[in-house]
Amino acid sequence: MRLPCLALLLSVWAALGHAFEIEESRSYPAPGTAALRILSTADADVFEPIIEAFQSIYPISITYDVASSTQVMKALYDEGAQYDLAISSAMDLQTKLANDGLARQYTSDATGALPPWAKWRDQVFAFTQEPAVLVLNAAAFETLDIPKNREGLITLLRDHPEVFDTRIGTYDVRISGLGYLFATQDSRNTESFWRLTEVMGRLNTRLYCCSGAMIDAVARGDLALAYNVLGSYARARLADTPGIVVVEMDDFVSVMLRTALIPQTAQSPQAAGLLIDFLAGMRSRPDLAAETGLPPVVGNDAEDEGIIRPIRLGPGLLVFLDRLRRDTFLRSWASSIEQD
């Protein structure tokens, strides 16, 4: 995250006539006649190297609009906005778009080479796998053991309220789609999740919209730890941010797959297909992975390792999008995290 997330909310770029909010819009003209409109949740700065590398192969003009995952959903699901490619970290919303018939099918050699868990219905294609991690402030942990798993974290928080009170950060799952995805997967995978949320609530946990803001707060020392931070962003910040530690839990790690799909409204699906092929082949471009901090999808190993679980694409993701289920979950979560 090169730009603070909150600053982007000043979205003067929102095109007139659109009810959904665009945070930022960039144009990358190219000599070719083809044009590609991308709606993405990834920061323009993060994605720019990929667009430039793509344009060095295909002379296709690209418009890159950034919006939150809820706004992406609103644009495509409710308003039928015309985009050729939708890139989102919200796997559940991408899955719903495909399930409800708003995505086009696309097959190629490149998508055929993707592992089976990295695509769904030949409509949703994963091109990164980004784990949820714990980010610690090194100074705060000088005398403390670094927790290895959630049980350890709960014990640590209980034993040292003086260190952690008001110094824990996590996603506000009510406003962050990614935070909601990580939280619901946690609730599915471990019994500890609700106890952890209770403990964090008692310690007056601060809630954030974005991973970048949490990492900044940890780096400044405002927070001693941040839970469920997007690992790719955290690792990308390690080099230029002294004093932070990234921890992957050893009980299990939820892995978010950043996905792309071609909406039914696409005007140039062929160009979108080319970009999907390019994204699917990212593992052969370690330079881009390093520059963007987006770890590409690698072979099948990730699935076998057990503790590292790519969140499974498919109808299961629709469950937590269910209105009642979401209400119930958010009510439980809110009552746990806000105990005042």
Partner 1 sequence: MSTAVAQVSIRRRLVVQLALVAALLSVVFFFALQVVADRATEATQDNILAASATSIADAVYTDAGIVRVEIPYSALSMLGTVSEDRVFYHVILDGQTLTGYDDLPVPAARGAGRDPRFGTYLYRGDTVRAVVVRRALNVADRIHRVEVVVAQTRLGLAAISSRITTTATAIGVVFFLAATALSALAAQNALSPLSRLAEAVRRRGPRDLRPVTAETPSELTPLVGGLNGFIARLRAALTRSEDLIVEAAHRVRTPLATVRTQAEMVHLQMEKPENRAALRQMIRAVDESSRSAGQLLDHAMVTLRSDQLETEEIDPADLLRDAVDRLSPTADLKDIAIVLDLPQAPMRVQGDAILLQNAVRNILDNAIKYSPADTEITVRLLSGPSCRLVVCDQGRGFMPEDIAHMPERFSRGSNVEDVVGSGLGLTIVRDVAEAHGGTLEIGPNPEGSGACVSLVLPCS
**Does residue number 309 form part of the binding site for partner 1 (CB under 8 A)?**
no
Residue that has been written with the tokens 């297909």 in this structure: 273
127 phi and psi angles, rounded to 5 deg = -130, -5
**Does residue 216 come out as left (phi exceeding 0), alpha (psi in the -120 to 50 range) or beta?**
alpha
Closest to partner 1 by CB, 7 vs 324, is 324
115 binds partner 1 (CB under 8 A): no
Q: How far is the CB of 30 from partner 1 (least distance, A)?
A: 34
The site for partner 1, by CB under 8 A, has a size of 19
- Closer Cβ to partner 1, 81 or 98, answer by number: 98
Q: Report the C-alpha gap between 13 and 227 in whole angstroms.
A: 32
Q: Does 315 bind partner 1 (CB under 8 A)?
A: yes
The whole-angstrom separation of Cα 205 and Cα 339 is: 10
Query: How far apart are the C-alpha atoms of 242 and 244, rounded to whole Å?
Result: 6
Degrees, nearest 5: CA angle 103-304-183: 60
Residues near 60 by Cβ (< 8 Å), separated by ≥ 6?
30, 32, 34, 35, 36, 54, 271, 274
Q: Which stretch binds partner 1 (CB under 8 A): 55-63, 98-106, 150-158, 297-305?
A: 98-106
Whole-angstrom distance, CA of residue 210 vs CA of residue 2: 12
Q: Report the residue from 155, 166, 270, 328 that binds partner 1 according to the rule CB under 8 A.
A: 328
- Nearer to partner 1 by Cβ, of 64 and 106: the residue is 106
Contacts of 287 (CB under 8 A, 6+ apart): none
| 99 counts as binding partner 1 under rule CB under 8 A | yes
Task: Restricting to residues 143-202, name those near partner 1 by CB under 8 A.
Answer: 188
- Which of 142, 301, 304, 323 touches partner 1 by CB under 8 A? 323
Q: Is 336 in the site for partner 1 (CB under 8 A)?
A: no
Between 10 and 323, name the residue whose CB sits nearer to partner 1: 323
Q: Is the distance from CB of 85 to CB of 39 less than 8 angstroms?
A: yes
Smallest distance from partner 1 to CB 325, Å: 5
Amino acid identity, position 47:
F
Q: Sketch the per residue contact string, 120 through 139, with partner 1: x for CB under 8 A, - otherwise.
A: xx------------------
Please give the structure tokens belonging to residue 241: 């941010």
Burial readout 281-311 (b: 16 or more C-beta within 10 A, e: otherwise): bbbebeebbebbbbbbbeeeebbeeeebbbb
User: Quick check: 272 and 280 in contact, CB under 8 A?
Assistant: no
Binding to partner 1 (CB under 8 A): which residues in 6-65?
Answer: none
Q: How long, in residues, is the chain?
A: 340
Q: Does 334 bind partner 1 (CB under 8 A)?
A: no
In sign, the C-alpha dihedral spanning 19, 25, 31, 35 is negative
Smallest distance, partner 1 to C-beta of residue 332, A: 10
From candidates 17, 31, 101, 306, binder to partner 1 by CB under 8 A: 101
Q: CB under 8 A: which stretch of 93-101, 145-153, 166-174, 232-240 binds partner 1?
A: 93-101
User: Nearest approach, Cβ of 321 to partner 1 (angstroms)?
Assistant: 10
Options 75-83, 162-170, 266-274, 308-316: segment touching partner 1 (CB under 8 A): 308-316
Residues interacting with partner 1, by CB under 8 A?
98-101, 120-121, 188, 312, 314-316, 318-320, 322-325, 328
